[in-house]
Amino acid sequence: MNDIVRHNPDRKLSDAVEYNGAVYLAGQVAEKLNVGMKEQTQDVLRQIDDLLKKCGTNKSRILTATVYVNDMKLKPQMDEAWLAWVDPRNPPARATVQALLGSPDTLVEIMCVAAK
């Protein structure tokens, strides 16, 4: 039986969960919310890189990503940061969804699943 490994767990969630060769990341939001969409996205992608590294994998192994944005009009700015970051040889399946996020200042949240 494979063990389940939880990273940074608290009472409500874990930032990442490893199981059976996959890494499941919780939705990540920017640490600084007083900046624009591109900057918040860059911050979130940096956090994703850090979590994946902690789990022994990297962005080239991401299988799926779901991007939540609070306003589709800002999606081009998110896409700009995403395209500068994503591994062009190994892009994941991705969806972008407009949603009400945790606070009015939260412009983007990204969750993904990666292979180990």
Domain borders along the chain are 5-115
Residue 74 DSSP label: G
Find out if CATH 3.90.1280.10 is the number for domain 5-115. Answer: no
- For the stretch 44-83, pLDDT in tens is 999 999 999 999 999 999 999 999 999 999 999 999 999 9
Q: Where are the beta strands (DSSP E) in 33-107?
A: 62-69, 93-98
Average pLDDT, the chain: 97
Position 2 pLDDT exceeds 80: no
- Relative orientation angle of helices 37-54 and 75-85, to the nearest 10 degrees: 40
Query: Which two structure tokens, joined as six digits, stand for 90?
Result: 């190994």
- Max Cα separation, the chain? 46
CA nearest 58: which of 38, 86, 27?
86
